[in-house]
Amino acid sequence: MDCTQIPYKETGYFSKIMLDYLEEKESIKPFYHRFPSIENFETQIQEKSDSFPLENRKVLVSALEHQYQNIDVSTLTQQNINNLVLPNTFTITTGHQLNLFSGPLYFLYKIVSVINLCKELKEKYPKQNFVPIYWMASEDHDFEEIQYFNFKSQKIVWEKEASGAVGRLSTDGLASVFETFSSLLNSSINANELRELFKKSYLEHDNLTEASRYLVNELFGEYGLVVVDGDNQQLKSLFKPYALQELKEQTSFKEVTKTSEQLAHESYPNQVHPREINLFYIGDGFRERILKTDNTFKVNNRDLTFSSAEAIFENKETPTDVVSGNALLRPLYQEVILPNLCYVGGGGELAYWMQLKSTFKAFNVPFPMLLMRNSALLVTEKQQKKADKLHLTLQELFLTQNELIAKKVNQKSTIHFDFESKRKQLEENFKELEIIASKTDASFIGAVKAQEKKQLKGLNHLEKRLLKAEKKKMYDLVTRIELLQNELFPNQSLEERQRNFADYYESYGKELLTVLFKALKPLDLQFTVINL
């Protein structure tokens, strides 16, 4: 296995806000707490230690023991759960939706990142314990986003009418999904492992939360990963004071609105837009917003009203776990119930976390460090040989397809005509004409600019025609480049966002995870190309 590190800014796939964050630019510094360097964890540990109550630890361990009661728990995971009651134990957390069969490949990268970071921290701070956490987004209600996964370029879909919190959904109907998936697998040992994993996860568990917990535990339990389901009455009881503050004072709306304006001032787009109250009410088959009308509260689209914020929790028919935070309050809930130091997520996730720093301050909860998860491109030996034959570097493969083909065609072409220098020469000539026009008759400047635009457009047209003609002559080269890049970047996107881990597990089995654990370095903050 060989690895190549590429700066994120050279891949073309990451947002300005994340690139500025990775470079620690001054414009982004007001929106995060501490940058994720190994040294900065020392202060983060002290801050969390001073603010996290022992009682919260006891409730957390009790809830986890209940959630794991029907799971075959590894020795390391059980030890991590037991350690969470100790004041010198802290967590590193990532979260993800309950995508069918884990969804996109980067799901694995997130979890490998948190496990590897815990190992690094233990080496640096041996007196503390560090527990890797996967937070299941069991309360989300966006079923359309999780009901499928891609395998061998096919979209495998769980056709089902669904509403409410996805974690509570019955697994009925997944037998037909299993049949479709199984038919696409070959007859190898690895393929049979995948069949068994899907079958035991989804056909032998009653709801999506239980199925997802089993799946993730089977893949990562031996590494000590702890899976947390936030849709839990014990854990929600710890969040109740914060939910009451939100209901009474609309804290998150006020704070996020101010932060969003500051981000916009720095030309950073907002990922999430706050509502007056950023809490949902979860019931049987529904998850609806809580609205405030005068001095009462009601549940949107439901015949449910409450005379006060406290009444929502006092109703015997509505226990504590009916209240659920949206994307802006779920992070707060997480940090209230976990002794967490750092959240590991993708660029889009971290961008909305950066809308929340002042919200955390208003609730008097420490803001965690934010670490962008590892991103990777997996390159097989066969694909690398194809790239070598085409004289393509790994960096070149990240160009857009048009840019890559134009570059390679121009390199191979026997016709060398520098259109860029001609464009610059033309622009210089027209600058001189503008100066002359301004000294004679300023009204001519518009005509000069129009003529410049026309000439440049004509030159661009000629360049495209010449390139098209050269492409035609080099049809074989162009086709081979297109095929290779499409293999590596399906749908002109990073493969980690398109493929499922099964695409590689079928060929490499458990060795796939071994490779990822060796290759992915969470604090290196670069894109990783892995040659399998």
From 213, 184, 215, select the one nearest 197 (Cα to Cα).
Answer: 215
Cα-based distances in Å from 33 to 21, 29, 272, 402, 521: 12, 8, 19, 40, 22
Cα-based distances in Å from 201 to 93, 171, 174, 304, 390: 23, 10, 10, 36, 43
- Residue 484: phi and psi, rounded to 5, are -65, -45
- Taking each helix axis as running N to C, give the angle between helix 233-249 and helix 54-67, from 0 to 180 degrees, rounded to the nearest 10: 130
What is the predicted pLDDT for the residue at 316?
Answer: 56
How far is it, in rounded angstroms, from Cα 426 to Cα 238?
69
- Residue 218: phi and psi, rounded to 5, are -65, -40
* pTM passes above 0.85: yes
From 462, 459, 437, select the one nearest 448 (Cα to Cα).
Answer: 437
User: What mean pLDDT do residues 112-127 have?
Assistant: 98
Q: Are strands 226-229 and 154-157 parallel, antiparallel or unpaired?
A: unpaired
- Taking each helix axis as running N to C, give the angle between helix 106-124 and helix 208-220, from 0 to 180 degrees, rounded to the nearest 10: 50
Query: Any idea where the domains of the chain sit in the sequence?
Result: 380-519
Q: What is the pLDDT of residues 314-345, one digit of tens each?
A: 765 555 578 999 999 999 999 999 999 999 99
Token pair of 170 as six digits: 């019955």
How far is it, in rounded angstroms, from Cα 56 to Cα 62?
10
For 361, residues 6+ apart whose C-beta sits below 8 A from its C-beta are: 255, 367
What is the predicted pLDDT for the residue at 348?
Answer: 92
Q: What is the pLDDT of residues 403-447, one digit of tens each?
A: 998 888 877 765 565 666 767 777 777 777 777 777 666 666 777
